[in-house]
Every structure is written in C-alpha cells, then in structure tokens.
C-alpha cells in the first residue's frame, strides 16, 4: 500500500463523486448492524429477558379444570335417517355451537355463584382497596369509590368474573363439549367446573319440566273446548234424526230402516237380474235349436233330466234287440219280418214320442221360469221406485245432512281422543324428565398450571428481547451519535476504491482518558513523547513512511498537510507528525501556513510570536521567526501577524523562495495548510509543495466534500501523495465486521493496552 503510485493521468482527470452505499433497509444491513452493535443488542435482549422473567415469577399461576358433557343427538319424532335427518343434524350443530353462550349465561352461572358463595371469594368477589387507593385516601378531598353492599350487585360482579374464567369448547365434530374453568386454586377450579356442568343439567331438567307443565295446562284447556264441540256436533246429529225420522238401526247410528230396505232391494234386484239373464240365455238357446231343427239333447237342462236319460237307455236297449233280429243280407228277400221286430220298432217309436214330449215340457218350464223371474225383477224395481220416488225427497235431504253432521261429529271425536292420549303421555313424562346432556367425565384438580406457560413465556421473552435488541442496534447504528454514516469514509478500502489514492494510515482517536497518565493531563505533543510505542505514534510513523517515499527520481521534502473542511484535526496531525519525524533524528521544519486560524501555533504556544506572516510582509527576519522545540530537532515557524490578504501573501513569489530556502536547510519541511474548500490558500501551497497529504476525519466528512477538495488540488496541479483517516474510533470500527474486529483486537493486544 505504501508503494502505491497514482495513475499517470491523475493530474488531467477530475475527481468524480463516488456512488454512496444504498440507504435502503435490508436484512444484511440489519445483521451487520447487530454484529457491530452486539453489546447494545445483547444488553437490550438481556434486559427484556430479565424483565420477562421478573414478570413471570410475579404472575399468579392459573389452573384450568375440565369437565366433559355428552349432548344427546336425538331429536323429537325423529327415528333414524329420514327426510328430515339432514335438518335435524343441522339443528344439532347449531345447538351445540350455541352451548358456549348458554353455559356462560347468567341463568347457569348465578346458581353456581350463590351455591359456592363466590360473592365473598377474594378471586371472584369484591376485594378491598389496593395500596395505591389506600394511599390516595389520605389525601384531602379524595373520595374513595363506593363499594356495592347489595348482595345482588356483588353476585352480578362475581358472575361477570366467573364468565371470564369459563370457556366452552367442542371436541372436533363430536357431541362432546368441554367446560373449562380457570382459577388460582386447582381444587376450586375443579369444583367450579363440576358445579357449572351440573347447573346446566339441572337447568335443562327444570326447563323440560316447566315446558311439560305448560303443555299439560294448555292441553287441559284445549280438551275442554273440544269436548264441548263434540257435544254440540252429536246433538246436531240427534236433531236431524228426529226431524227427518231417521231411526238408527246400528250401534253407530249411521244406518236407518229406509236406507237398509233400499240397500236390500238393490241387492235383491241385482241377484234377480243376474238370474233373469241366465234363464234368458237358456230360452234363447232352446229357441235357436228349435228354429234350426237341431237336437235338443245338447241343451244343459235336457241333458240333466232323469226322465230323458231313462228313456234314452230304453231306446238304446230296443235298438240293440232290433239289431239282433235283423236277417243276414243274403236272407232279406226270402225271410219275412218277425213279429218281435215289429213290436220292438213300435216300442222305439213310442219312446221317441215320450222324449219329444219331455223336451217340450222342459222348454215350457224354462219359459215359465223366465217369465216368473222377469215379473219378480219388475216387482222389486217397482218397490224400489216407490221408496226412492218423489215422496222420499225430504228423507234424502235429511240423509245428506245427517251424513255431514255425522262426519263433523266423528272428526271432533277423533281430535278429542287424540288430545286425551297426548295428555296421558305428557302426564307420564312430567313425572319422569331426562336431560339432553350428561356428564361423561367429572372435573379433576389439575396438577400443573395452565397459565403462565413458563417455557413459552421464556422463549417469547427471548424472542421479544432479540427483536428489540436488533431494533436498538439498528437505531444506534443509523441514528446514534457514533453511527456509521454511509456518506462518510469508515474503512480504508472505501478510501482506496473511491479516491484511487493510497491510504497512508488510520490515526486513532485520542480521548481524555488517554491524556490522563501518572496523575497529570498531557497535551498531544507530550502524549507522543511519553508514548512513543503507542498505536497513535505507530500510525504517525506509517504516515511518515508513506510520505517520504521517493516518487521516481524526485525526493519529496516539502509536504503540505491539509483537509477538505475545518475541524478535522489537520493541525494536530501536522504538529505530531513533525515531532515524530524529529524524534527519529531528522531536521524537521514545521510552518503554520494557516494564517487565519493558526491552530498549530497554539499547540506550541507561539500565537503571539512573529511568524510566517511577518516574514512574508518583510517585517521580520528568518532567525527571528524560528523556534526550537525542546529536546528535539524540530523547528517551528508560527503563523505570525498578517495585515494583508492571506491569499496574496501565500501566492507571492516570496513564499516560494521561503519554501525553497527551507527545503535546502532542513531534511523535511511540513506545511500546515488551511482547509481546501473554505479558502484557496491550500491550492496555492500545493503548487509549491512537493507533496500534499489530505486528511479525512473518520465517519464524519462527506465523500463529496473530499472529492471536491481533490478536484480543487488537481486543478491547481498539486500532487496528492495519499490520504489519512483521522480520529478513528477503534472501539466502533471493530464492530464493523469480523475482519476488522480481529485486526484491531490484535493491535490492542500487540500494544498491550486498551485504546479507546
């Protein structure tokens, strides 16, 4: 790094403002900030965790007891799946979902509060005034809040607190409901959970009993009304019977004599017409046989006649005998007919006549039966017409009214019987009520508290502490007084990459703690002499080594030390660097060229002495303005008095002559120049100096100001030999990353003391 040579075209290229790091928030930036500010993050995390632990051990533990209820899923008038099964399931789901509000209602919890006397319990009832309230009670004009003395008010308060301590949950999609009660006492929690479950069951029993009683009372009143309607409808039926003479002949009173006779005539007419049709068919069949000349033997009545059957048997016997009496074919002409054959033929003819006479008799009987049946049907129809004729119109109207009245009476009687049966069922269920829920698991005293969850509380405290620690580290990184500014230079690599100049050294910050040694407070020069092996002294040696390196054939002896803006510590660095070089044995001359603010002159207590301004104005000689620093080869020229423009004096030819004379008589000449940006003196001095060293205050001076200062020096053909980071806070830069932490920690260990 010390052998770095700037680019050849440096003098001809203007410096551009380097791009600054992105200010956008990112996780990587947060992690880096936490690493750099690990003490802040760890401290906040530890404090939050300790605070959480303190709160944890001061919290009153709460125990939760659980009792389980099984809700009966059956619904009234529903047996198994049916058309209304899905509706019943939906009603059950809504009902179970509503149990939480029902069990936590005042109707369920108030009996528990009264039975357990929770209104006197310190946890659920009223408590005495707290310490702060008792303290305020002694103040003049303070009125304490009135404590409700009424029992009902105390009960309402206890019910409200018990509601907050009670929760009801459903086990997935089952009919099991859990009743949970939290309390500071596990036995009390179990007792209250059991009492609430039993109170719900008792409330269901009481509700069912009251509903049954209301139903019985309503049914009793309704039965009385229906009974009166039955009496009125039956009386109307009796009036119609008396008015129209419709005497009942059955126990039900629905049938009369006339209606019965009409019914009998209809039945008889139907049977007679059927018989008449059958006989008519037989007569028509016989007539067809007679007209066609056929055999009457095929008629059913003829075939069923015993006389005809006997005659036909005789006819068959005679035919057989005649067959036996017949001669052979060869004897027909010569044999005369026998008398027996003649008599047999006459007997056969007689039998045929008898059969014909019997058939005629049967047919005549059929015709007579048909005529008699027809006369019978006509007689029945005449009687029916007489009963249903014009004279019976009034009775038919009465019959219709009677039927209507009987229908009303029958309906009223059915309603009356149904209500009586329902009343009997309700009277039986009124004495035996079953709740819709039952306890399947009694509440037991829990062994472990449900609140607070210590493991969860501790992890939550750690998590919150870690988050707040990261937030605190981020805030300290980006908003703290010692924050790492993205617009300033923090680490050497930023300087080299942005400015393309060698980084000569990082000079540590000297604080009041460093200046107090051996009971006395040292200034910068005394500190350097007393601590020649310190990190500060070694940083000055690195700067000196980098500046005094030859640039080609040219040996730079005249070196200007300047900065971009005031207040960066260039005068202190110039004075200590000159003293450090003088302590190495070289003849060193330090000239305070900042005629406006001679800080270097103040360090050497030469503010009222003649100096450079007097020499440039020809009011003093060289030997009158040089001052030897004790015990060293360092010569100091103060700023002196300036009654002309400092720019004109610095830019005069006499200034160049003085610098040339100094370079010929001293080994090294340090020029403490003014800041570059406020005035142009430093640019003029850069033209006559061999090298210029630019000082940058660590984590403060903006990069664009540094670049503008370099542009100004470049335009005036100055040679910038390198850059020095001044006032580096070693404790802060160690947190910038792992490599820097290791590097600066090793430096502290090497020098054997802590550097602030």
Query: Averaged over 265-272, what is the pLDDT?
Result: 82
CB-based contact 489:498 (threshold 8 Å): yes
Decide the pairing of beta strands 176-183 and 63-71.
antiparallel
Percent with pLDDT over 70 in the chain: 79
Query: Averaged over 44-71, what is the pLDDT?
Result: 90
Confidence of residue 18 (pLDDT cuts 50, 70, 90): very low
CB-based contact 647:680 (threshold 8 Å): yes
Confidence of residue 731 (pLDDT cuts 50, 70, 90): confident
Alpha carbon distance 612, 592 (integer Å): 7
CB-based contact 23:486 (threshold 8 Å): yes
Q: For residues 511 and 448, which has the higher predicted lDDT (pLDDT)?
A: 448
Percent with pLDDT over 90 in the chain: 29
Which residues lie below 8 Å from residue 529, measured CB to CB, with a gap of 6+? 579, 583
Here the tokens at position 679 are 């005035």
pLDDT of 160 reads: 93
pLDDT of 89 reads: 45
CA distances from 185 to 116, 195, 444 (A): 14, 15, 12
Helix (H) or strand (E) holding 464: helix 454-479
Q: What is the pLDDT of residues 469-486, one digit of tens each?
A: 888 877 877 776 656 666
pLDDT of 552 reads: 63
CB-based contact 735:35 (threshold 8 Å): yes
Alpha carbon distance 524, 602 (integer Å): 12
* Domains 62-130+148-204+433-441 and 488-751 equal at CATH topology level: no
- What backbone torsions phi and psi does residue 335 show, to the nearest 5 degrees? -105, 130
Is residue 701 pLDDT above 80, yes or no? Answer: yes
Here the tokens at position 595 are 């005629």
Alpha carbon distance 322, 95 (integer Å): 110
Name the H helices within 143-185.
Answer: 151-165
Here the tokens at position 745 are 């920690």
pLDDT of 272 reads: 83
Here the tokens at position 70 are 């099984």
pLDDT of 751 reads: 58
Of the candidate ranges 69-73, 221-225, 592-596, the one whose mean pLDDT is the lowest: 69-73
Options 3.40.140, 3.30.1890, 3.30.43, 3.40.50; which CATH number does 62-130+148-204+433-441 get?
3.30.1890
Of the candidate ranges 155-164, 258-267, 410-419, 584-593, the one whose mean pLDDT is the lowest: 258-267
CA distances from 430 to 203, 337, 455, 729 (A): 15, 115, 54, 92
Query: Averaged over 279-294, what is the pLDDT?
Result: 75
Is residue 27 pLDDT above 70, yes or no? Answer: yes
Q: Is 282 in a helix, a strand, or coil? A: helix
Query: Averaged over 740-752, what is the pLDDT?
Result: 54
Taking residue 394's Cβ as centre, other Cβ atoms within 10 Å add up to 12
Which residues pair with residue 70 across a beta bridge?
176, 438
Q: To which residue do tokens 């019959």 refer? A: 399
CA distances from 631 to 189, 588, 711 (A): 89, 13, 40
Which residues pair with residue 615 across a beta bridge?
none
Alpha carbon distance 666, 175 (integer Å): 104
Alpha carbon distance 135, 533 (integer Å): 65
Q: Specify burial of residue 691 (Cβ count, 10 A radius: 0-12, 13-18, 19+).
A: buried
Query: Averaged over 99-128, what is the pLDDT?
Result: 87
Confidence of residue 746 (pLDDT cuts 50, 70, 90): low
Q: Is 670 in a helix, a strand, or coil? A: strand
CB-based contact 655:511 (threshold 8 Å): no
CB-based contact 97:86 (threshold 8 Å): no
Query: Averaged over 114-141, what is the pLDDT?
Result: 70
Is residue 211 pLDDT above 50, yes or no? Answer: yes
Is residue 324 pLDDT above 80, yes or no? Answer: no
CATH code of the domain made up of 488-751 = 3.40.50.300
Domain ranges in the chain are: 27-57+453-478, 62-130+148-204+433-441, 488-751
Confidence of residue 1 (pLDDT cuts 50, 70, 90): very low
pLDDT of 574 reads: 95
Name the H helices within 326-392.
Answer: 339-387
Alpha carbon distance 555, 549 (integer Å): 7
- What backbone torsions phi and psi does residue 178 show, to the nearest 5 degrees? -105, 130
What's the gap between Cα 129 and its chain centre? 41
- What backbone torsions phi and psi does residue 79 show, to the nearest 5 degrees? -120, 100
Name the H helices within 166-244.
Answer: 186-244
Query: Averaged over 559-577, what is the pLDDT?
Result: 95
Q: Taking Cα atoms as reference points, which of 301, 64, 295, 271 lies closest to residue 182?
A: 64
pLDDT of 630 reads: 93
Is residue 6 pLDDT above 80, yes or no? Answer: no
Mean of the per-residue pLDDT values for the chain?
80
Here the tokens at position 100 are 């939480």
Here the tokens at position 72 are 């009966």
pLDDT of 454 reads: 85
Q: For residues 692 and 27, which has the higher predicted lDDT (pLDDT)?
A: 692
Q: Following DSSP, what letter does each residue of 21-68 receive, concatenated?
A: PP-S--HHHHHHHHHHTHHHHHHHHHHHHHHHHHHHHHSPPBEEEEEE
Q: Specify burial of residue 159 (Cβ count, 10 A radius: 0-12, 13-18, 19+).
A: buried
Please indicate, yes or no, whether the overall pTM of this predicted structure exceeds 0.75.
no
Q: What angle do helix axes 492-499 and 703-715 make, rounded to 10 degrees?
A: 40
Which residues pair with residue 517 across a beta bridge?
520
Alpha carbon distance 15, 704 (integer Å): 10
Confidence of residue 392 (pLDDT cuts 50, 70, 90): low
Which range, 133-137, 343-347, 398-402, is most confident?
Answer: 343-347
Here the tokens at position 735 are 């947190």
Q: For residues 524 and 287, which has the higher predicted lDDT (pLDDT)?
A: 524
pLDDT of 164 reads: 92
- Tell me the HSE value of 501 on the side-chain side, using a 13 A CA sphere: 26
DSSP state of 20: P
Is residue 96 pLDDT above 80, yes or no? Answer: no
Decide the pairing of beta strands 626-628 and 634-637.
antiparallel
Query: Rg of the chain over CA atoms, in angstroms?
Result: 68
Confidence of residue 569 (pLDDT cuts 50, 70, 90): very high
Of the candidate ranges 11-20, 401-410, 574-583, the one whose mean pLDDT is the lowest: 11-20
Confidence of residue 87 (pLDDT cuts 50, 70, 90): very low
pLDDT of 5 reads: 37
pLDDT of 325 reads: 75
Q: For residues 356 and 593, which has the higher predicted lDDT (pLDDT)?
A: 593
Confidence of residue 515 (pLDDT cuts 50, 70, 90): confident
Q: What is the pLDDT of residues 358-387, one digit of tens each?
A: 878 888 888 888 888 888 888 888 877 776
Confidence of residue 340 (pLDDT cuts 50, 70, 90): confident
Q: Is 251 in a helix, a strand, or coil? A: coil
CB-based contact 627:620 (threshold 8 Å): no
Q: Is 651 in a helix, a strand, or coil? A: coil
Q: Taking Cα atoms as reference points, which of 673, 618, 676, 674 lies closest to residue 642?
A: 618
pLDDT of 756 reads: 36
pLDDT of 90 reads: 45
Confidence of residue 754 (pLDDT cuts 50, 70, 90): very low
Q: Taking Cα atoms as reference points, which of 607, 617, 544 lies closest to residue 577?
A: 544
pLDDT of 433 reads: 65
CB-based contact 321:365 (threshold 8 Å): no
Q: For residues 129 and 412, which has the higher predicted lDDT (pLDDT)?
A: 412
Q: What is the pLDDT of residues 452-466, one digit of tens each?
A: 888 888 899 899 988
Q: Taking Cα atoms as reference points, which of 449, 577, 483 lies closest to residue 183?
A: 449
pLDDT of 748 reads: 56
Which residues lie below 8 Å from residue 355, measured CB to CB, with a gap of 6+? 308, 311, 312, 315
Query: Averaged over 718-746, what is the pLDDT?
Result: 72
Is residue 390 pLDDT above 60, yes or no? Answer: no
DSSP state of 175: S
Of the candidate ranges 32-36, 115-119, 146-150, the one whose mean pLDDT is the lowest: 146-150
């Amino acid at each position: 790094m010390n052998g770095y040579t700037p680019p050849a075209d440096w003098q001809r290229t203007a410096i551009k403002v380097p791009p600054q790091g992105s200010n956008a928030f990112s996780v990587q930036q947060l992690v880096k900030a936490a690493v750099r500010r690990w003490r802040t993050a760890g401290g906040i995390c530890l404090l939050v965790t300790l605070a959480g632990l303190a709160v944890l051990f001061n919290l009153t533990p709460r125990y939760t007891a659980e009792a389980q209820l099984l809700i009966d899923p059956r619904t009234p008038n529903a047996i198994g799946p049916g058309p209304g099964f899905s509706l019943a399931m939906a009603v059950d789901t809504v009902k179970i979902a509503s149990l939480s509000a029902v069990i936590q209602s005042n109707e369920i919890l108030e009996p528990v509060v009264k039975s357990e006397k929770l209104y006197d319990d310190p946890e659920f009832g009223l408590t005495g005034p707290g310490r702060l309230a008792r303290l305020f009670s002694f103040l003049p004009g303070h009125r304490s809040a009135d404590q409700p003395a009424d029992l009902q008010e105390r009960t309402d308060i206890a019910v409200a607190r018990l509601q907050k301590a009670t929760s009801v949950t459903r086990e997935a999609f089952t009919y099991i409901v859990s009743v949970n009660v939290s309390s500071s006492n596990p036995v009390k929690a179990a007792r209250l959970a059991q009492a609430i479950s039993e109170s719900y069951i008792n409330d269901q029993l009481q509700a069912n009993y009251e509903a049954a009683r209301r139903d019985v009372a309503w049914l009793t009143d309704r039965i009385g009304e229906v009974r009166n309607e039955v009496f009125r409808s039956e009386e109307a039926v009796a009036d119609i019977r008396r008015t129209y003479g419709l005497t009942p002949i059955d126990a039900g009173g629905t049938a009369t004599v006339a209606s019965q006779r009409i019914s009998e005539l209809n039945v008889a007419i139907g049977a007679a017409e059927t018989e008449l049709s059958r006989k008519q068919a037989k007569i028509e069949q016989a007539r067809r046989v007679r007209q066609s000349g056929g055999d009457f033997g095929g008629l059913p009545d003829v075939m069923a006649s015993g006389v005809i059957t006997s005659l036909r048997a005789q006819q068959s016997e005679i035919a057989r005998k005649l067959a036996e009496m017949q001669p052979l074919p060869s004897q027909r002409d010569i044999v005369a007919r026998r008398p027996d054959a003649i008599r047999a033929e006459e007997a056969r003819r007689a039998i045929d006549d008898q059969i014909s006479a019997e058939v005629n008799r049967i047919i005549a009987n059929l015709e007579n039966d048909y005529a008699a049946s027809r006369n019978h049907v006509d007689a029945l129809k005449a009687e029916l017409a007489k009963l249903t004729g014009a004279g019976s119109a009034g009775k038919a109207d009465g019959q219709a009214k009677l039927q209507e009245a009987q229908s009303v009476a029958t309906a009223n009687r059915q309603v009356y019987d149904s209500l009586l049966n329902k009343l009997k069922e309700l009277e039986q269920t009124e004495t035996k009520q079953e709740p819709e829920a039952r306890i399947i698991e009694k509440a037991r005293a829990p062994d472990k508290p449900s609140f607070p969850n210590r493991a969860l509380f501790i992890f939550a405290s750690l998590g919150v502490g870690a988050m707040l620690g990261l937030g605190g580290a981020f805030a300290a990184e980006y908003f703290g007084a010692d924050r790492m500014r993205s617009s300033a230079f923090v680490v050497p690599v930023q300087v080299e990459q942005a400015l393309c100049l060698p980084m000569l050294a990082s000079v540590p910050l000297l604080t009041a703690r460093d200046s107090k040694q051996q009971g006395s407070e040292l200034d910068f020069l005394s500190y350097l002499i007393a601590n020649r092996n310190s990190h500060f002294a070694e940083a000055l040696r690195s700067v000196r080594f980098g500046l005094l390196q030859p640039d080609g054939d040219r040996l730079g002896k005249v070196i200007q030390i300047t900065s971009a803006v005031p207040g960066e510590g260039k005068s202190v660095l110039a004075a200590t660097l000159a003293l450090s070089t003088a302590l190495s044995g070289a003849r060193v001359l330090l000239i305070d060229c900042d005629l406006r603010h001679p800080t270097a002159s103040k360090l050497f207590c030469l503010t009222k002495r003649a100096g450079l301004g007097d020499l440039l104005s020809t009011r003093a000689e060289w030997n009158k303005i040089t001052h030897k620093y004790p015990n060293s080869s360092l010569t100091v020229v103060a700023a002196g008095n300036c009654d002309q423009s400092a720019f004109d004096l610095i830019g005069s030819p006499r200034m160049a002559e003085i610098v040339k004379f100094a370079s010929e008589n001293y080994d090294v000449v340090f020029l403490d120049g003014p800041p570059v940006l406020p005035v142009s003196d430093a640019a003029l001095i850069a033209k006559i100096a061999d090298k210029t060293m630019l000082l940058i205050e660590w984590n403060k001076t903006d990069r664009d100001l540094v670049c503008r200062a370099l542009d100004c020096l470049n335009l005036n053909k100055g040679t910038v030999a390198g850059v020095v980071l001044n006032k580096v806070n070693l404790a802060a830069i160690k947190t910038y990353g792992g490599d820097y932490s290791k590097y600066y920690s090793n430096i502290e260990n090497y020098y054997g003391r802590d550097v602030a």
